[in-house]
Amino acid sequence: MKKAQLVLVPSPGIGHLVPAIEFAKRLLDQDDSFLVTVLVIIRAPFGPDTDTSNQSVLTTIDTRIQYITLPTVTPPDLDPLRSPENYVTSFMEAHKPLVKDAVVNHVMSNKSSVPVVGLVVDLFCASMIDVANELGISSYVYFASSAAFLGLLLYLPTRQEQVGIEFKETDPDLIVSCFANPVPARVLPSALLNKDGGYTCFENLGRRFREAKGIVVNSYVELESHAVSSFLGGGTPPVYTVGPLLNVNGHSLMGSNSDRHGKIMEWLDDQPEKSVVFLCFGSIGRFREAQVKEIALGLEQSGHRFLWSVRKPPPEGHFALPSDYSNFEEVLPDGFLERTKNIGMVCGWAPQMQVLAHKAIKGFVSHCGWNSILESLWHGVPIVTWPMHAEQQINAFQMVEDLGIAVEMTLDYRMRSDNLVLADKIARSVKSAMEEDGEVRNKVKAMSEASRKAVMEGGSSFAALGDLIKDMLS
């Protein structure tokens, strides 16, 4: 069979690297004529914890994939707290010469008789399309978020030409074809409300995406039929929905906490079936102390069993990942751990995929990161929405308003805001998710079945990946 080479350039960070590797694995499962190389950026701009998580991912390597670790570059002279998206995009752009060198000297030269048919670049790596153009290679965007969010980014250049001004939270509801309902400005991604470069960054990304030969999305038609159909009017590169791409059978990819993770799973084993609400807010999510105390009080008021992942914020003004507390009592209300010892467990980083798969879990209070949404749907666990940053507010809006497959706690919470979600609201939302066996839970169950069928032979995502492979090999 004729061989072809493919090079992937993911952004640093576990939320980007893992889906990219899962895409490579899925591609090879479906067509083993590809030779896949992943260019890995270990020295990430988020501090040493991110480097550790990236290294952990690489310990789970698939021998069919070649990994090339790029040299370090000098971080951009920008304040990452003013616009994280602009900072990361600039950081990735600084890698263009290294990516070109790796492709020319380590991919093309080693297997010179096997053509490189595509450079697959991540959301924040759109500038790498220039490298593909210079080398005469087709470029594809790998979009690890929703089709609806992709549609919003593709809409931005058109809006900029028509209106020429940035968004404000007081703007009227937005009509965007990829969403079934008008979108309130308050649920737009933080970057689009950021006048320090975030809006311009995303508008430029949306413009660059249109230059690619195709866009690969970690979603499936059954979940986002409205958004996917909005791309059919022309003016957009072909969009291939090949998801959900999940590390279904893998182990936790955030450090070697096997002892603590074992204790979590043992505790879940002791709980009744479908009795536990799981609270987990991703690799970046964290709360100030006042909010942590409200969550604790809300859980007590709900009366439900809980597993709660609590992370410690980095020092004020630092652009870094949260860490685990050495003593939870320093942040929790007095006596909370003693009062809830028979119904709850407080932990640090948790192996989210394994927890969601456990029979004891019935509800999931989540930051609404796209990977977390796909994982919850895969396992049929309804989400209670608590978005925090990035595109999570628009994800939460879509899940609640457009699709009706999540319970609303909040849609517009911002991690760095002074908003405080009070205990009464938290308790009501948890009770709603845990006690309701109605429309939302039934829809989530149906979507779980659809997600599994989509990636099987004959499914919509299997077919879309086949179309993508044909396009690459042509």
Q: Helix or strand or coil: residue 127?
A: helix
Q: Which CATH class is domain 258-450?
A: alpha beta
pLDDT at 247 (0 to 100): 84
Q: How far apart are CA 21 and CA 17, in angstroms?
A: 6
Return the active site residues: 16, 122
pLDDT at 452 (0 to 100): 98
Q: How far apart are CA 185 and CA 203, in angstroms?
A: 16
Q: In what order do the strands lie in the sheet with 344-347?
A: 344-347, 305-309, 276-280, 361-366, 383-385, 406-408
Residue in the structure block whose two tokens are 């009706």:
404
**Under 8 Å between Cβ of 236 and 467:** no
Q: What angle do CA 285, 57, 218 make, to 5 degrees?
A: 70
pLDDT at 284 (0 to 100): 85
Ranges of CATH 3.40.50.2000 domains, the chain: 4-243+455-473, 258-450
Q: 460 — phi, psi (to 5°)?
A: -65, -40
Q: Determine the CATH number of domain 4-243+455-473.
A: 3.40.50.2000
Q: How far apart are CA 361 and CA 250, in angstroms?
A: 19
Name the H helices within 32-162. 48-58, 84-93, 96-102, 129-135, 147-162
Name the H helices within 336-384. 336-339, 352-356, 370-378
pTM of the model: 0.94
pLDDT at 378 (0 to 100): 98
What's the Cα-to-Cα distance from 131 to each of 75, 120, 134, 192, 281, rounded to whole Å? Answer: 20, 11, 5, 27, 35
Q: How far apart are CA 214 and CA 8, in angstroms?
A: 14
Tokens of 80: 């990452």
Closest CA to 467 of 132, 27, 38: 27
pLDDT at 79 (0 to 100): 79
H/E stretch holding 408: strand 406-408
- Over the chain (474 residues), what is each successive 10-residue block's mean pLDDT? 89 85 95 94 56 51 86 84 86 95 90 87 96 97 97 95 88 96 96 85 96 98 97 90 87 58 95 97 89 97 97 78 87 96 95 96 97 97 96 97 97 86 97 87 97 97 98 93
